[in-house]
Each structure stands twice: as structure tokens, then as C-alpha cells.
Amino acid sequence: MTISFSTALDFVLKHECVFAPGHDGDLDFVITENVPGDGGGLTKYGIDAADHPGVDIAKISLTEATSIYRAGEWTGCRCGDLPSKIDAAVFDCAVNNGIATSGILLQRALLRCGFVLSVDGEIGDKTVRAALAEANLHAADFLSQLLNLRREHYANIVLHRPAFSKFLKGWLNRVNDLANCLLNPAA
């Protein structure tokens, strides 16, 4: 029913990892980064010091990062209960924007489809049931709606915090890549 955690994680790591020169795509050669203007601070495998103060980011392993993602974003967003492809979209959004924002965007997409539910960022049983129902009826349209809301979210961030405009192209490329992977998997 759902995309596997490992498949969703592969997509996330493709966009979250920085590799040592000459080793693009080789997860054995992921290096730490500290991008100016990114409040996360020191980051490796997409795990940042600001959100994980007890983690030694410089020494984190792929196994440790995987455990953090599974226990955090995957479980926190109930991705294992969500429909296939929606699970990956919600997971990637949670990694990049936070669990609550991912839940809010999912709920807003469901509201636009006519479901009545609270937009509180908490992916509870009602949100899961609505996502399952909508995915059974209009899977591709619903996924497109969800991804469009994420694009709008990024535009809104830049509107209110212009200094973040330097990240906009990368954010949009990530969503477009996700859309291509989920909506055109044979491409």
C-alpha cells in the first residue's frame, strides 16, 4: 500500500547529502556542511545540529541518520499508514519543512478536495482516512495538489523572508524532481 521507507529515504538522501569531491552519489562519502543562512547549522545526511542537539553531526553514520528519519519524520507523519506516493511526498516535505508543516499541507490539500477536518498539522486517524479515500478516487490529481501547495509554501517563505530567496530554486527543483519521480515513474 505504501512506498517503502527505504525508497522514500533514497529520494530524501539524493537531495540532502553533500558528497566529497569525485564521489557524487556514494553514501560512503557524505560530508558535513554548514550553509550560510540555513539555521540548521552543521548538517550531514540532512540531519542538522539545530533540530538534533544531542547528535554528533560530524560523526553521524548513515545507519544513525536512517533511524532518526524513521523514528522522526516517517513515524511522526504516519507515512506507513498513508497511500502510496502520498507517503513519500509527506515524508520528503517533513524532512525539508518539518512534521507539522507537512501535516498542514496534507490537510490543506484534503480541504481543497472537500474533506472537513482541522488544519492542525497533526496527522491523525481522520486525516489518514481522508487521504486514503482521496487517493483511491483521484490519486494523481491529489498528489499534484499536495505538491503545488508545497510550491506555494516555498513562495510564501521567500515573500516573508526575502533572504531565503537563495534557496528557492533548489526547493522548487526538489519538488519538481519528486513530482517527476511520483507522477512519471517510467520517465
Domain boundaries, the chain: 5-183
Query: pLDDT tier at 4 (50, 70, 90 boundaries)?
Result: confident
Average pLDDT of the chain, as a whole number = 94
Q: Is the pLDDT of residue 55 over 80?
A: yes
Q: Select from 3.40.50.150, 1.10.1240.10, 1.10.3720.10, 1.20.141.10 the CATH code of 5-183.
A: 1.20.141.10
33: helix, strand or coil: strand
Query: pLDDT tier at 1 (50, 70, 90 boundaries)?
Result: very low
Tell me what the mean pLDDT of segment 159-183 comes to.
96
Tell me what the mean pLDDT of segment 32-40 comes to.
91
Tell me what the mean pLDDT of segment 41-61 comes to.
96
Phi first, then psi: what are they for 19, rounded to 5°?
-110, 150
**Cα atoms in the Cβ-side hemisphere of radius 13 Å centred on 8:** 26
31: helix, strand or coil: strand
Q: Is the pLDDT of residue 148 over 70?
A: yes
Tell me what the mean pLDDT of segment 150-174 comes to.
97
Q: Is the pLDDT of residue 137 over 50?
A: yes
Name the percent of the chain lying above pLDDT 70: 97
Q: Is the pLDDT of residue 156 over 90?
A: yes
Give residue 3's pLDDT. Answer: 65
Report the distance separating Cα 129 and Cα 97, nearest Å: 23
Specify the length of the chain in residues. Answer: 187
CA of 60: how far to CAs of 5, 17, 32, 34, 163, in Å? 20, 13, 9, 15, 29
pTM of the full structure: 0.94
Query: pLDDT tier at 187 (50, 70, 90 boundaries)?
Result: low
Tell me what the mean pLDDT of segment 47-60 comes to.
95
Report the distance separating Cα 184 and Cα 8, nearest Å: 15
Report the distance separating Cα 156 and Cα 21, nearest Å: 34
Give residue 184's pLDDT. Answer: 84
| pLDDT tens, position by position, 110-119 | 999 989 999 9
The candidate with the shortest Cα–Cα distance to 95, out of 66, 56, 62, is 66
